[in-house]
A and B are shown apart, each in its own frame.
Chain A
Amino acid sequence: MVYGIIELINFAHGEVYMIGAFVALIVASVLTMAGFTGPAVLALAMVFAIIYSGAYGFTVEKIAYKPLRHAPRLSPLISAIGMSIFLQNYVLLVQTPDFLPFPNLIPELEFLDPISHIFSSNDLAILSITTLSMVALVLFVKYTRMGKAMRATSQDRTMSTLVGIPINKVISTTFVIGSTLAAIGAVLIASFMQQINFYIGFVAGIKAFTAAVLGGIGSIPGAVLGSLILGLTESFATGYIRSDYEDVFAFALLVIILIFRPAGLLGKTKTQKV
């Protein structure tokens, strides 16, 4: 999404995700100690994670990308990698290099108990919240003023400025929304895996980027479709062939799809005007 608008790969996105998970862990621990239980903890942890991640996303954009908006395209890319390394090491130093146990915040639903070994309440929560977020995001981009401004900025930045769209504000909002989604994902996945450390964001970021490319950069349903295909390929490769080769199959698929559809599955081919 961020790439679609400013044509910059936000390498620090995974780190924002990781920070979301840490904030959720801290809030959840404090709340559990204060005696709260169940969905209240999940909701509050999620809210705090979103606020914090949003703030980080906003700040990262202001510090690392905004000053470089008119610089050559390589500079913000390097600055993005720098930001990612900085945030990782920051969490490493102020928190811990160890893995930390993360509480399972998603309550076990009773009606799922008999089949919980196949389909647990965690799976249900991840599935439903992902779908909800995707629908909400699509609606937001399609039907709100801000969404329209985002699409305009992505098409032509100079022109948007000319018609009076505050592109700095639009880009900041994009970063905040992206970070919000990262935080939601972080809380869900951390609850599912029940452990976090400072490095989780890196792998998540790489996989997310791959999925976005696969689905078509800039297309929101495309990103979700891309991640589904990537995840299923890895799982099937492990299941039917060998887990040693799961990444090989996932990335081989990526290459094949990009050969036949260079813009990704749902991406639109843009003609470059000369």
Chain B
Amino acid sequence: MKTKFRTLALAALVTLTFAVSGIAADTIKLGVAGPHSGDLASYGIPTVRAAEFAIAEINAAGGVLGKQVELLVEDDVCKAEIATNVAAKLVADGADVVLGHICSGATKPALGIYKDAGIVTMSPSATNPGLTQSGDYPNFFRTIASDDMQAMLGVNFTVKTLGAKRVAVIHDKGDYGKGYAEFAKMFLERTDGVEVVLFEGVTPGAVDYSAIVQKIKGEKADAVIFGGYHPEASKIVTQMRKKKMDTFFISDDGVKDNTFIKVAGEFAEGVYASGPQDVSYLDLYKKVEKLHKDKYGEDPGAFYKEGYAATMALLNAIEKAGSTDYDAVTKALRTEFVETPVGKISFDEKGDAIGVGFSMYKVTNGKYVEQK
């Protein structure tokens, strides 16, 4: 009975799709959602630019399946409650696939809406492990490796390369930061001879973090692993350095942003932050970086190349699938490899990209330098 109903529904949907595509101007609609204003805008805007460049090239070459690609850009300010509105709007506007969202906390509630509407969603930056590993969102893919990979790298680096024995783990209580911190704590506890001396959350957006800094000092930690974003990280680092603490500071790709170096200034020196592998040697990467520099006169920001890669992967999958049908597109994403600015990638059963990973970076003379 259920199967019958499903077939019927599908048939109705197909007819409807044909009816609509018969009348409407033929375009493939790519939704782009992320923070384009607010204090995390520096994570969202590069993805919009990447998508614009990618579709400009594809449209010039004749589009996808002979149709032009159109962008539907929506701002979610990285907030869960706004993200659900954005998702509903994109669904209503007829988006075929969605590139986004940027923050894990905003992505999660939006995914349910896309799932119900049968829309494939691909994030260039949402690294919360549960998004793919829980299996709740079969419509979700991402072009960045997940936090547990990142936390493992951070812990290995802290313990093996820096030789830390007493580690304080701090997070910002958000989906992303806390997830990262919990994995870091788990990996640290599995390592012999290392002690987690502190595991605490701080209030994001607070004016002053000197109390927690004092506590880190009191615990005589020789390394701090921080899960969260750059505004809090720069305050904590600044206050630590002002108290003349030379404790190692290791963080995630929420901190590996040029704004962090700009704001923390001299205090940023020597801070470690993990981020996507350096791919600047790839020809395709050089090409898309040049596109950005020529148009905007500056280096592309965070998640630019991941955004470009996600756009290419999505549109390639539609081309290979021969339609925007949900099942066909997800199958194509899982089977077809595509050359992107982050390397040659495909996706596993859960939606994580095969062929991408993390590296550790250290702030040296005002720049992130990859640690081999």
Contacts and interface: CB of A to CB of B under 8 A. Distances in A.
Given A195-B238, A238-B212, 5 more contacts: A197-B39, A199-B205, A203-B205, A239-B211, A239-B218
Contact of B200 (A98, A116, A242): A242
Interface in A214-240: 234-235, 238-239
B29 interface: no
Contacts of B173: 244
B85 to A, nearest CB: 19
A239 B37 contact: no
Interface of B: 37-39, 41-42, 173, 200-203, 205-208, 210-212, 214-215, 218, 230-231, 234-235, 238, 242-245, 259, 262-265
Contacts of B203: 243, 246-247
Interface in A92-112: 92, 97-101
A131 interface: no
A175 B161 CA distance: 57
Interface residues of A, number: 28
A243 B235 CA distance: 15
Contacts of A92: 37
B130 to A, nearest CB: 21
A117 interface: yes
A200 B231 CA distance: 12
B231 A243 contact: no
User: Which of B201, B214, B263 lies at the interface centre, i.e. has the most chain A CB atoms within 10 A of its CB?
Assistant: B263
Nearest to A196: B263
A204 interface: yes
B211 A120 contact: no
B211 A116 contact: no
A165 interface: no
Given A100-B263, A101-B263, A234 B211 contact: yes
Contacts of B210: 235
Contact of B235 (A97, A193, A234): A193
A98 B211 contact: no
Interface in A150-207: 189, 193-195, 197, 199-200, 203-204, 207
Contacts of A193: 207-208, 235, 238
B201 A204 contact: no
11 contacts: A99-B230, A99-B259, A116-B244, A117-B243, A194-B238, A194-B265, A195-B263, A197-B39, A235-B211, A238-B215, A243-B202
Chain A CB within 10 A, most for which of B39, B210, B244: B39
Contact of A243 (B200, B207, B262): B200
